[in-house]
Amino acid sequence: MKFDEAYSGNVFIKSHPNYEESEAVIYGMPMDWTVSYRPGSRFGPARIREVSIGLEEYSPYLDRELEEVKYFDAGDIPLPFGNPQRSIDMIEEYIDQLLADDKYPLGMGGEHLVSWPVMKAMYKKYPDLAIIHFDAHTDLRDDYEGEPLSHSTPIKKIANLIGPTNVFSFGIRSGMKEEFQWAKEVGMHISKFEVLEPLKEILPKLAGRPVYLTIDIDVLDPAHAPGTGTVDAGGITSKELLASIHEIAKSDIRVVGSDLVEVAPIYDHSEQTANTASKIIREMILGLVQKK
């Protein structure tokens, strides 16, 4: 027993106590105020950390252990409730600093809109950035009932910024007709319904390029991720999602950052969604951070 230093409480398992020495930084973006259906993803990051104590530190998939990677858990960004613009600005500034310090950003949402300022900041550093996007939804709206700051818009925003041919969406099974048509017209890649097989085809084409990976947990079937805002039948299994991440891990692309968003614990009594999310974070740490 020693009481001579601050109790280091709710952090992702095995996170490093020192920011400077860490390669990667885990951070939460507890924002859910623009969602059009069920809110609650603001509690995603805290719950993912809490259940991470149930994780083994070793991945039999990658044959690596958490102690092989130094990552710092910086806690949640204190986003102002109900103010999307200020939240987005804070996130962008936060990522700017992480990138200035040459850290790998590993974010946890929160609603998917939080990925927009992250990707924007990444693009400032990596002008040839590509996006790999796993999701049930296109997220290609310009606005949601008049609001341009909406959880239905982040992929459209980044596609407009970096060029739609640099965005690759997988697992999409929901969206407006206009969104699918737009993607087709401008040459943005959308793999409907499936992730793993089309991903295997795309990855070689991105060899050597810096890639940001953004995963909406609802790419999983509701059976595998009931704890999210919008549950949509016909998704992939957690086994397929893990395999897809491992496929990226062994590819020739450079992964320069990643996030996992839309975990909303209140809708999942068994907490399987948060547990699955914490396992995905572990596999990202072990499989992707060294690929920067």
Cα(14)–Cα(17) distance, rounded to whole angstroms?
A: 9
One of 110, 117, 210, 227 touching a second copy (CB under 8 A):
227
Position among 1, 21, 127, 185 found at the interface with a second copy (CB under 8 A): 1
284 interacts with a second copy by CB under 8 A? no
Binds a second copy by CB under 8 A, chosen from 21, 102, 177, 185: 177
Q: Is 291 an interacting residue with respect to a second copy (CB under 8 A)?
A: no
Q: 122: which residues sit within 8 A by CB, 6+ positions away?
A: 95, 99, 105, 129, 210, 212, 256, 257
Extract the tokens encoding 91.
Answer: 């996130």
Q: Which is nearer to a second copy, 206 or 281 (CB)?
A: 281
Find the binder of a second copy among 182, 268, 281, 286 (CB under 8 A).
268
Determine the Cα–Cα distance for residues 88 and 149; give it in Å rounded to an integer: 9
Residue 102 touching a second copy (CB under 8 A): no
Nearer to a second copy (CB atom), residue 186 or residue 223: 223
Burial string for 43-79 (b: 16+ CB within 10 Å, else e) reads bbbbbbbbbbeebeeebebbebebeebbbbbbebbeb
Rounded least distance, CB 98 to a second copy, Å: 9
Interaction of residue 246 with a second copy, rule CB under 8 A: no
Task: Considering the complex, state which of residue 34 and residue 251 has its C-beta at the smaller distance from a second copy.
Answer: 34
- For a second copy, the binding residues in 127-156 under the rule CB under 8 A are 144-147, 149-150
Query: Under rule CB under 8 A, which residues in 186-205 are in contact with a second copy?
Result: 192-193
CA distance linking residue 225 with residue 77, whole number of Å:
24
Cα angle, residue 110 at apex, residues 222 and 243 outer, rounded to 5°: 50
Q: In this chain, which of 154, 175, 210, 257 binds a second copy, going by CB under 8 A?
A: 175
CA–CA separation, 267 vs 258, rounded Å?
24
Q: Which stretch binds a second copy (CB under 8 A): 39-47, 120-128, 203-211, 249-257?
A: 39-47
Q: Indicate whether 160 belongs to the interface with a second copy (CB under 8 A).
A: no
Q: Are 54 and 275 in contact (CB under 8 A)?
A: yes
Q: Applying CB under 8 A, does 271 fall inside the site for a second copy? A: yes
191 vs 251 by CB, closer to a second copy: 191
Residue 238 contacts a second copy per CB under 8 A: yes
Residue 35 binds a second copy, judged by CB under 8 A: yes
Among the candidate windows 34-42, 159-167, 201-209, 252-260, which touches a second copy by CB under 8 A? 34-42
State the number of binding residues for a second copy (CB under 8 A). 94
Give the end-to-end CA distance of the chain in Å, rounded to a whole number: 39
- Residues 47-66, one symbol each (x = binds a second copy by CB under 8 A, - = not), give --xx--xx-xxx-xx-x-x-
The answer to whether residues 172 and 253 touch, using CB atoms and an 8 Å cutoff, is: no
Q: Which is nearer to a second copy, 105 or 210 (CB)?
A: 105
